[in-house]
Amino acid sequence: MIDQELQQLDAFKNKLIAWLAESGVALLVAILIIALGIWLSKSLAKFILKLCDKRGIDITLARFFAGFAKVIIIAFATIMALSKLNIEITPFIALLGASAFGLSLAVQGPVSNYGAGIVLIITRPFKVGDTLTINGLTGQIDCVNLGNTQLLNEDEERITIPNRNVLGEIFTNSYDYSIVEAVVGIDYGADPEVAIECIAAAIQTVEGVASERIPDVGIEDFGDSSINIGYRVWIPTNRYHRTRYAVNMAVFRALEAAKITIPFPQRDVHLIQQ
């Protein structure tokens, strides 16, 4: 039994040596072609990115062009390598065509994502660096791939959204900033105009608040125990929470310095004795 297995192993070794002797050069050439194709595709992708950057083309389109060129070069290199090994690629193409119909139902999701990705890249409703809010999720766009769009939030969490969900939903693009909306109550005995001026001035002293967007400050509504002053502030998305906390502290300190009281809810209770 062992002798038979050794004979089979020896026969396989001889066939392998004969095949390498016959096709070794072709195999080496095929490997070199694929290696050259990979190197060329990477170099071409880098060149396209640099060229697009010099031309001022949006980074999303630049990445799409670079990735598409990379795939095309590698595909051509693979076809050339297979031809050097005398491997007929026509049966593979026919097999792919025959199985495409059977796989169509299984890949409906990915294909729709790719189609939506192409539409997003061409129409460019947003670009890398913009702030996107969709389905309650907010983050800065890090990259737009053919299949998905990826966001990064202040906590450096990566949010991946399939492109068909991006294209088919209503989303908000606030570009580099996010909007903070808050309310603070002041005593009915205070002057609301003075409070509004204090709050607006305090907000503009906070580092990171958008200098080109003047904060909106005004009377929000009239509460049971206070006049509610609302303010809307544009702050950088990548420092959203820390800037929001700093704004709230600045508002509190400004009202405190102006001797404007922030009342707490209270009720008058009357006891009627019979």
- Cα→Cα distances 51→36, 57, 63, 70, 142, Å: 22, 9, 11, 15, 20
Q: How far apart are CA 78 and CA 39, in angstroms?
A: 13
Tokens of 28: 């080496």
CB-count exposure of residue 219 (10 Å: 0-12, 13-18, 19+): middle
117 close to 163: Cβ distance less than 8 angstroms: yes
Phi, psi of 88 (to 5 degrees): -75, 125
Q: What is the mean pLDDT of residues 135-154?
A: 86
Q: Are 215 and 209 in contact (CB under 8 A)?
A: yes
Distances (CA, A) of 202 to 151, 195, 230: 31, 11, 14
pLDDT of residue 100 exceeding 60, the answer is no
Comparing CA positions, the residue from 182, 69, 60, 187 lying closest to residue 118 is 60
Q: What does the chain come to in residues?
A: 274
Residue 13 binned pLDDT confidence (cut-offs 50, 70, 90): low
Q: What pLDDT was estimated at residue 245?
A: 93
User: And the tokens for 19?
Assistant: 């095949």
- 171-190 tens-digit pLDDT: 888 888 888 899 999 999 88
Residue in this structure with the two tokens 């119909």, named with its chain if needed: 101
Instruction: Report which secondary-structure segment, H or E, holds 138.
Output: strand 137-144
Strands laid side by side in the 148-152 sheet: 158-162, 148-152, 137-144, 131-134, 172-175
pLDDT digits over 251-271, tens only?
999 999 999 988 877 666 777
Largest CA distance in the chain: 116
Domains annotated for the chain, with CATH where assigned, are 2-87 (1.10.287), 125-174 (2.30.30.60), 177-257 (3.30.70.100)
pTM of the entire structure? 0.56
DSSP 214: P
